[in-house]
Amino acid sequence: MRQLNYSLIFLIALFYACASSEETTTQESQKKEPEIYVFDDVNKHDTTKVEIPKQAEAKPEEPKPEVKSAPEIKESLTNSTKKFIIQVGVFTTQERAQAFVKENQSKIAYIMKITLRDTDKRFVVRLQPFESKEDAEKVRNNIWQIPSFKDAFIITLE
């Protein structure tokens, strides 16, 4: 009789153990979502408000980076057939793009411009156009050494 009780308890425990592992596997497979990567650096800029520390001396306000729309840039490139632009970041808000430019402009000798991309309403940060692909590649390879610019890439506009 005792063996029957122990066997019955063992079978019930085994049944519940198998049922819970199957349920866990089903729940985990339903939770998977596709990953979407935007160039926002969440660790550094996880807020919409950027606080700038006040300094003892009153300095004149720096002009905010100018935001151009993509058609304006294409119109300014009509002098030659191809231009090569290095894109260094894409942001969901203008404030994040401006914070990126303000934080990183002193690290490179090239002016960064913020552009509103019409297709997806994202703010892209790019360097001024280069005449040759070789010049653009040299600059891109140099700025890759700086962690903030490790995702930079070249765009060709005709």
Query: Whole-model pTM above 0.75?
Result: no
Q: For residue 57, is it within any domain?
A: no
Give yes or no: residues 26 and 83 share one domain: no
Looking at the structure, tell me whether residues 90 and 144 fall in a common domain: yes
Domain assignment of residue 50, yes or no: no
Please check whether residues 26 and 71 belong to one and the same domain.
no
Residues 75 and 131 in one domain: yes
* Residue at 52 is within a domain: no
**Is 26 a residue whose pLDDT tops 60?**
no
Q: What is the pLDDT of residues 9-21, one digit of tens each?
A: 766 766 666 555 5
Residues 72 and 134 both lie in one domain = yes
Residue 62 maps to a domain? no
The mean pLDDT value of the chain amounts to 74
Spatial neighbors of 5 by CB under 8 A, at least 6 apart, are none
Same domain, 5 and 73: no
In the chain, how many domains are there? 2
- Range with the poorest average pLDDT among 30-34, 79-83, 87-91: 30-34
pLDDT band (50, 70, 90) for residue 56:
very low
Domain harbouring 112, CATH code: 3.30.70.1070
Task: Evaluate whether 124 touches 49 at the Cβ level (below 8 Å).
Answer: no
| Residue closest to 156 by CA, chosen among 79, 77, 98 | 77
- 89 lies in some domain: yes
Q: Determine the structural domain holding residue 122 and report its residue range.
A: 67-157
pLDDT tens, position by position, 92-130? 999 999 999 999 999 999 999 999 999 999 999 999 999
Same domain, 90 and 139: yes
b or e along 121-146 (b: 16 or more beta carbons within 10 Å of the residue's beta carbon)? ebbbbbbebbeeeeebeebbeebeee
pLDDT at 28 over 70: no
